[in-house]
């Protein structure tokens, strides 16, 4: 359904919401290999916030767990296409010490609550504020300016990759395994 969305509709969406992945370069960006940041041994950005499900979260509280921060939006058809895979993978890997963290990008509480209910999202979703967006923007060329955009973080708190665009279930699982294979920070 969403795959049939036309370029005109995407441009209209961008005009209405003020942001969406850059339409002219989105598919090119999604086709590019992941930005590997592990070579530079970069500590993942600090974030803190209360999830829409009522849980207080922070990168400090997640130390020792692998996690993926996924910037997404309820109005983004590409983002919606990933949610079912993330829900299934959350069920599979949560007991192994992994979690997704959804970061709602330029969205509103009502739409996000509806999306959480509609897709039965089983991982925390935080409304990304300016501080969170700025922290993660420092880690990618051009900053956080498109969705979906994910950041995989190892159990040691190191940022492993930043990846723009839609990911398949196999790609997501590959990133999850990377986060779980990193050493635990002592």
User: Across the chain, what does the average pLDDT equal?
Assistant: 82
> Does residue 62 fall inside a structural domain?
yes
Alpha-carbon gap, residue 140 to 62, rounded angstroms: 21
**CATH for 115:** 3.40.30.10
pLDDT digits (tens, 9 = 90+) for 107-135: 999 999 999 999 999 999 999 999 999 99
> Does residue 109 fall inside a structural domain?
yes
Whether residue 52 is predicted with pLDDT greater than 50 in this model: the reply is yes
Collect all residues with Cβ–Cβ distance below 8 Å to 37 and sequence separation of at least 6.
139, 159, 160, 161, 162
> Does residue 150 fall inside a structural domain?
yes
Range of the domain at 61: 23-181
Q: How many CA atoms lie within 13 A of 147 on its CB side?
A: 30
> Is the CB of residue 169 less than 8 Å from the CB of residue 146?
no
Collect all residues with Cβ–Cβ distance below 8 Å to 150 and sequence separation of at least 6.
68, 69, 70, 71, 162, 163, 167, 175
Contacts by 111-118, CB closer than 8 A, 24 or more apart = 111/74, 111/75, 112/52, 112/74, 113/52, 114/74, 115/74, 115/80, 115/83, 116/52, 116/53
> Does residue 176 fall inside a structural domain?
yes
Prediction pTM value: 0.78
Whether residue 80 is predicted with pLDDT greater than 50 in this model: the reply is yes
Q: What are the φ and ψ backbone dihedral angles of 163, each rounded to 5 degrees?
A: -130, 120
Rounded mean pLDDT of 86-110? 97
Q: What is the largest CA-CA distance in the chain?
A: 51
Classify residue 185 by its DSSP letter: P
> Does residue 1 fall inside a structural domain?
no
Count structural domains, the chain. Answer: 1
> Does residue 72 fall inside a structural domain?
yes
> Is the CB of residue 69 less than 8 Å from the CB of residue 136?
yes
């Amino acid at each position: 359904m969403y795959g049939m969305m036309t370029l005109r509709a995407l441009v209209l969406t961008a005009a209405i919401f003020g942001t969406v992945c850059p339409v002219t370069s989105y598919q090119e960006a999604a086709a590019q290999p992941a930005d590997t940041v592990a070579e530079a041994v970069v500590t993942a950005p600090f974030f803190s916030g209360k999830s829409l499900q009522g849980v207080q979260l922070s990168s400090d509280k997640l130390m020792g767990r692998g996690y993926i921060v996924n910037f997404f939006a309820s109005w983004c058809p590409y983002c919606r296409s990933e949610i079912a895979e993330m829900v299934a993978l959350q069920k599979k890997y949560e007991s192994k010490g992994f979690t997704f963290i959804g970061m709602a990008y330029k969205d509103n509480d009502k739409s996000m609550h509806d999306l959480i209910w509609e897709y039965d999202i089983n991982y925390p979703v935080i409304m990304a504020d300016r501080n969170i967006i700025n922290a993660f923007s420092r880690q990618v060329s051009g900053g956080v300016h498109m969705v979906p955009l994910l950041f995989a973080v190892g159990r040691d708190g190191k940022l492993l990759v930043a990846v723009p665009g839609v990911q398949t279930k196999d790609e997501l699982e590959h990133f999850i395994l990377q986060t779980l294979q990193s050493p635990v920070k002592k």
